[in-house]
A and B are shown apart, each in its own frame.
Chain A
Amino acid sequence: MLMQINHIVPIEHIITLSCILFCIGVMGVLLRRNAIIILMCIELMLNAVNILFATFSAYNGNPDGQIFVFFIMVVAAAEVAVGLALLVLIYRNTRSVDVSLLDRLKW
């Protein structure tokens, strides 16, 4: 068991960090129009979550969280693979990865 180690950094700081990271990710998704950047920002959000899980795991002395992080990483990889494939497909058909141009389906 990872029992109480004296942590130098207080847990609140790390939570704040990951919240900031998450928000940066969200803002990136909202503000950028390049699909690749959006994909990266989603990854950023996932990484913020990873940090959060790892922190809680370490500070609460429960290894489950760290295992969860591995799952997130695996799934994120799969997601990116699919996402990039989709992007390539779209790029082939439209010669663009700008998501704001995609509005054939509406109303």
Chain B
Amino acid sequence: MSVIIVILLTAILVLFLHIFEGRQWVNPLAILGLSLSFIILCLENNSLWGDYSSMIYMTQFAKVFTGTAIIFTILVFFINQSRLKLEEDTNNGDKLGLVLFSLCGAILLFTFTNITMLFLGIEILSIPLYVIASSSKHDLHSNEAGLKYFLMGSFATSIILFGMALIFGATNSLDIMTISEYFSQAEISKMAALGAFFVGIGFFFKVAAIPFHFWTPDVYEGTPSIWATYFATVVKIASFGAFFRLYILLGNVDNSPLYKVLVLIIILTVVVGTLTALVQENAKRMIAYSSIVNSGFLLMFFLNPSSDILSYFGLFILGYGLATIGIFSAIVYLESIGNSNGFEGFDGLGRSQPLFSLGVAICLLSLAGIPLTVGFLGKFYLLMSLSFDQWWMILLVIASSIISIVYYFRIFNGMYFSNKKASAIVAPEVVSPYLNFVVGFCALSLIIIGLFPDFYLNIFQ
């Protein structure tokens, strides 16, 4: 568990450094600490025993997801570095500290083997986010995003807790294995079923599945873009990592207390998400709806869980995360040169910043599921994992991907086929090397892993 400890120490160090006039070192230090924790994660042998009275257990699945989350956070910090060059931020240390704390929560969500840890993980992940969402103090949008996120988030937490209490009452245990054994019985009590149902609802909220998605577009739009990147990627991964593990343990039974709900929610999420994304005028909101649709796809992996599915699930979420980070860095760049979040900002970007936009374009293609990218493979694996009598789900995925072309390609169109003169729209400002690095990293990984997926999938074994 040295990973969590290293991240925690980094966070504390960052907070102190911030106080003692070392502001310019805060961001590099955070990146350094995260890199260190990533190295430790790679070197650490799989601990076959649990830590903290067997309440945390680092499986291979948890390890890959932790690594992914750490890398995504590093990328987010790189994007943050580009901002620091342009503006003085007196609270940067606080924000980084909070993000690092919430990353600890995310790691707990991948590794928990006890309901207590699950609950703590959710809260450690969420509470800093409420603050980060409203971190732009004088921006009313940011304030509003924070309060909305907080109200809905804590409401959802209460519902998860209520479910946990019922499960505890039915099984008389907080240990996840004991609970899982209970749920694998042929007949489970009404109380346990209701408990699992409520926990499931709470997680549907956390992963932003329709009709529990309302916070997503508003929060993504209101939150400063850099942190919205974190919300859209790391938080998504964390919620899905926990939910997937939990679903395999609780819901994957013959008379699952969640199956019908799951099917209904998947359909709603994909259909409504896709249609609403089509009419968005704001790029950030569009990404928010696209993340909702992707949640729907990810939930489809839950339908036929098996040990193989874990790695395909990981691949899909990796592709989604990398592509989203790439697009968000473009949004951050556009904001830094004074463009709003509308699609117009992208007009002519392909001409003024050819290399940068090529990377962004690859990210878009991956999200749209064009072959030779991870996005395509993810969707392909998803289709393959669905069984034959779920053909209507297959149709749903394909139809949604086709419609999604229309809205992803609005950005694409703007970048390459805008009829405005490039120099007239985009100031000939250079893209910060940090942003270039992030986009390049995302685009290259999308293509390399898209070509050689085994490279990634084998880590799960």
Contacts and interface: CB of A to CB of B under 8 A. Distances in A.
B151 A104 contact: no
B458 to A, nearest CB: 38
A75 B120 contact: yes
Chain B at the A interface: SS class = helix
Interface stretch (B35-43, B139-147, B358-366, B404-412): B139-147
A58 B134 CA distance: 41
B140 A94 contact: yes
Contacts, number: 116
Interface residues of B, number: 40
Nearest to A54: B165
Interface stretch (B18-26, B123-131, B258-266, B294-302): B123-131
A67 B53 CA distance: 14
Nearest to A106: B218
A79 B127 contact: yes
A78 interface: yes
Given A46-B158, A56-B169, A82-B131, A99 B147 contact: yes
A93 B140 contact: yes
A75 B222 CA distance: 25
A104 B141 CA distance: 7
B40 to A, nearest CB: 27
B452 interface: no
**Most central of B115, B169, B218 by chain A CB within 10 Å:** B169
A75 B119 contact: yes
Contacts of A22: 158, 162
Given A62-B172, A93-B140, A106-B218, A49 B162 contact: yes
Given A60-B169, A60-B172, A78-B123, A90 B145 contact: no
Contact of A82 (B116, B150, B217, B218): B150
Chain A at the B interface: SS class = helix
Contact of A53 (B130, B151, B165, B221): B165
Interface string A9-22: 00000010000001
Interface residues of A, number: 41
Given A62-B172, A75-B123, A89-B137, A67 B116 contact: yes
Contact of A45 (B116, B162, B172): B162
**Most central of B115, B123, B131, B141 by chain A CB within 10 Å:** B123
A79 B155 contact: no
B417 to A, nearest CB: 26
Interface string A83-105: 10111011001100001001011
**Most central of A35, A46, A60, A79 by chain B CB within 10 Å:** A79
Interface of A: 15, 22, 25, 29, 35, 38, 42, 45-46, 48-49, 52-53, 55-56, 60, 62, 64-65, 67-68, 71-72, 75, 78-79, 82-83, 85-87, 89-90, 93-94, 99, 102, 104-107
12 contacts: A42-B151, A45-B162, A56-B165, A68-B116, A68-B168, A75-B120, A83-B154, A86-B134, A86-B147, A89-B137, A104-B141, A106-B218
Interface of B: 115-116, 119-120, 123, 127, 130-131, 134, 137-138, 140-141, 143-148, 150-151, 154-155, 157-158, 161-162, 164-166, 168-169, 172-174, 217-218, 221-222, 285
Given A86-B130, A102-B148, A105-B221, 6 more contacts: A29-B151, A29-B155, A49-B164, A90-B144, A105-B148, A105-B217
